[in-house]
């Protein structure tokens, strides 16, 4: 019987991880935040009163074993002067399915069958009006996930405008898990929106599964400026309350100086460094490897290496 891994996240980070993890002999449940209100997803939320579908589309596409051209079609965005401009085909399909079934969970299940997805994908909630909020260190309140991302202001706290109704299967999957993984990606808009739900927090407190965090390779302006690995762990632990991160995977890659300079000047992003003494004080197990790859001058995690580490950890523990 395969080990069960529950992975929390959203956006590009989670999709990238699952691209390789899906090929290992484990059962994956991907839990995805649904508060995005930008781009195609934001337009569809306003027009059809739906939860955010964009991150779900990315995850389903990356978990699919179907022909690569079909995947490209799902990710295709229209470039036109009409209302279709900017919409991803997969977002439109999910929205149509949601209109037919009346349930995001059922829509995901149907699309997963169509695209030969062997693993489970769950939205953190099916609430249509879920709004992510942030309070800055200057006590300014920012409403909306896109607005939080674009603000670049230093965030003190995130919360929801309304308490989410967590999908009950998410809690069931946590209870059955052998390992819980917090994916790399935006802390404030991809990972923490899952954790701050009361029902999820309570389930994590009761769970005996280890919590593994895959630390970001680069900082994010306004969110994690000057953060080292220990700062990421400390922030997550604050939201976890009585539960703590048990193990962290962090990259110790030496990034090319020219690439690092581009990130620093154009995007105000720096490499996340490993602070061994702090991690030791936090009581978190550290797994450090050369994990960064450069594709077209873009810094990414090596999905296959990450997946191998997760698999090895499962086998050893």
Domain definitions of the chain by residue range: 3-316
CB-CB contact of 194 with 8 (8 Å): yes
pLDDT at 157 over 90: yes
Nearest to 33 by CA among 14, 17, 16, 18: 14
Instruction: Answer whether CATH 3.40.50.620 is correct for domain 3-316.
Output: no
Nearest to 215 by CA among 243, 242, 185, 188: 185
Q: Please say whether the beta carbons of 122 and 194 come within 8 A.
A: no
% of the chain exceeding 70 in pLDDT: 100
Residue 284 pLDDT: 98
pLDDT for 41 equals 86
Query: Given the DSSP bridges, would you call strands 210-214 and 179-182 parallel, antiparallel or unpaired?
Result: parallel
What's the predicted TM-score (pTM) here?
0.94
* pLDDT at 50 (0 to 100): 87
DSSP state, residue 75 = H
pLDDT per residue as tens digits for the range 192-240: 999 999 999 999 999 999 999 999 999 998 889 999 999 999 999 999 9
Task: Give residue 228's pLDDT.
Answer: 98
Token readout for 7 is 């992975």
Q: What is the dihedral of CA 52, 93, 302, 209, to 10 degrees?
A: 60
Query: Are 75 and 86 spatial neighbours (Cβ–Cβ below 8 Å)?
Result: no
Q: What angle do CA 184, 185, 189 make, to 5 degrees?
A: 135
Top pLDDT among 12 and 312 is at 312
* Alpha-carbon span 280 to 292, nearest angstrom: 23
279-299 pLDDT, tens digit each: 999 999 999 999 999 988 899
pLDDT of residue 38: 86
**Higher-pLDDT residue of 52, 5:** 5
**Residue 290 CA: distances (Å) to CA of 46, 60, 65, 217, 259:** 42, 28, 28, 11, 16
- The pLDDT, as a whole number, for residue 317 is 86
Task: Write the CA distances from 125 to 32, 52, 129, 276, integer angstroms.
Answer: 9, 10, 10, 37
Q: Give per-residue pLDDT as tens, 82-134.
A: 888 989 999 999 999 999 999 999 999 999 999 999 999 999 999 988 999 99
Question: Average model confidence (pLDDT) for the chain?
Answer: 94
pLDDT band at 11 (very low <50, low <70, confident <90, very high): confident
pLDDT higher than threshold 90 for residue 42: no
3-class SS string, 123-188? ECECCCCCCEEEEECCCCEEECHHHHHHHCCCEEEEEECCCCCECHHHHHHHHHCCEEEECCCCHH
**217-232 as b/e: b if 16+ CB within 10 A:** bbbbebbbeebbbbbb
- Res. 179 pLDDT band, cuts 50 70 90: very high
Locate the DSSP E strands across the chain.
3-9, 26-32, 120-123, 132-136, 141-143, 155-160, 179-182, 210-214, 247-251, 285-289, 292-295, 298-301
Question: What end-to-end distance do the CA atoms of the chain give, in Å?
Answer: 15
User: How high is the pLDDT of residue 49?
Assistant: 87
Place of tokens 């609430």: 127
The phi, psi pair for 220, rounded to 5°, reads: -130, 130
Q: Which whole number is the average pLDDT over 65-82?
A: 91
Percent of the chain with pLDDT over 90: 84
What's the average model confidence in pLDDT over 160-170? 96
């Amino acid at each position: 019987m395969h080990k069960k891994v529950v992975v929390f996240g959203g956006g590009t980070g989670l999709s990238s991880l699952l691209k390789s993890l899906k090929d290992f002999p484990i059962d994956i449940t991907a839990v995805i935040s649904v508060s995005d209100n930008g781009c195609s997803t934001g337009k569809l939320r306003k027009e059809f009163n739906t939860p955010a579908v964009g991150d779900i589309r990315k995850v389903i596409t990356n978990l699919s074993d179907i022909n690569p051209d079909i995947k490209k079609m799902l990710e295709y965005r229209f470039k036109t002067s009409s209302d279709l401009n900017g919409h991803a085909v997969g977002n439109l399909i999910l929205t149509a399915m949601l209109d037919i079934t009346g349930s995001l969970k059922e829509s995901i299940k149907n699309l997963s069958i169509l695209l030969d997805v062997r693993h489970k994908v769950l939205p953190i909630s099916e609430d249509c009006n879920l709004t992510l909020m942030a309070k800055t260190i200057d006590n300014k309140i920012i409403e909306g996930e896109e607005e939080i991302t674009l603000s670049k202001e230093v965030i003190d706290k995130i919360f929801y405008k309304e308490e989410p109704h967590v999908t009950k299967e998410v809690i069931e999957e946590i209870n059955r898990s052998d390992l819980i993984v917090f994916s790399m990606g935006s802390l404030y808009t991809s990972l923490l929106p899952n954790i701050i739900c009361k029902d999820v927090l309570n389930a994590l407190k009761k769970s005996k599964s280890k919590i593994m965090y895959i630390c970001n390779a680069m900082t994010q302006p306004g969110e994690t400026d000057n953060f080292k690995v220990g700062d990421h762990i400390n922030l997550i632990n604050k939201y976890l309350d009585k539960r703590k991160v048990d193990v962290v995977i962090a990259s110790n890659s030496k990034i090319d100086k020219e690439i690092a300079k581009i990130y620093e000047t154009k995007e105000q992003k720096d490499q996340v460094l490993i602070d061994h003494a702090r991690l030791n004080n936090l009581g978190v197990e550290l797994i450090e490897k050369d994990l960064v790859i450069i594709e077209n001058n873009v810094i990414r995690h090596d999905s296959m290496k990450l997946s191998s580490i997760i698999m090895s950890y499962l086998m050893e523990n």
